[in-house]
Structure 1
Amino acid sequence: MRAFWLIPKSQQNTFQTTSKGRSSRYLRQEFPELMKLPSLWTHLYMFDTTGIVSTQKVLQYINDPHHG
């Protein structure tokens, strides 16, 4: 979970835009029915830190259907 800590704040937008663009391209290549959609991702993004929390705990939180 520490990969994003290395990205300076001024580069977060570039990183996010690039990763959304690439993933959109790959998904549309694999699933042509997605070509019907005008966009796969919103223009919004969020970065946050977890402090000293294990990756396992973060994944448990993400996968828990009752946390929302």
Structure 2
Amino acid sequence: MSMKYKSNCNVVYSCKYHVVWCPKYRRKVLVDGVDTRIKSLVQLVCAEHGFELIEMEVMPDHVHLLIEVDPQFGIHRAVKLIKGSTSRILREEFPWLRSRIPSLWTNSYFVSSVGGASLSAIKKYIENQKTV
């Protein structure tokens, strides 16, 4: 697999990240249509801001993303945008989320650059999360 690079006006980059985050208290609330809706919302946010969403899997109690983000934008800003907008919209569309937990997402998340592992290995890991 050859390395593909992106560029903006002054940076050529290949910055792929594995990101995982959970609902508050690790509650299993990403079910009953919330899982499919969050997938479409994440795709929408990524498209609006120019992030490349390579792979995504939504489990009942956490979300996995494999995403490429411009280093000048920053992965921290990307995750903040995705978590913030999905929380706001999901809590509007699914009122039972507001009654179950005070906020949808925890403040924390896991992020790892995908430099040491092959991209195909990370994609396979994320795809296989449903079977674990």
> Would you say same fold, with TM above 0.5?
yes
Q: Which one scores higher on RCO, CA 8 angstroms, separation ≥ 6?
A: 2
Q: TM-score range by the shorter chain?
A: 0.5 to 0.7
Alignment of 1:1-68 (within 5 A): 1=54, 3-4=68-69, 6-8=70-72, 11-36=74-99, 37-51=101-115, 52-54=118-120, 57-62=121-126, 63=129, 64-65=131-132
Contact 2:91 2:98 (8 Å CA) reproduced: yes
Runs of 5+ in structure 2 lacking a partner? 1-53, 55-66
Q: Distance in 2 between matches of 1:59 and 1:32?
A: 33
Pick the structure with more helix per residue.
1
Runs of 5+ in structure 1 lacking a partner? none
Report % sequence identity. Answer: 33
Aligned residues: 61
Task: Give 1:45 shift.
Answer: 1.9
TM-score normalised over the length of structure 1: 0.62
TM-score normalised over the length of structure 2: 0.38
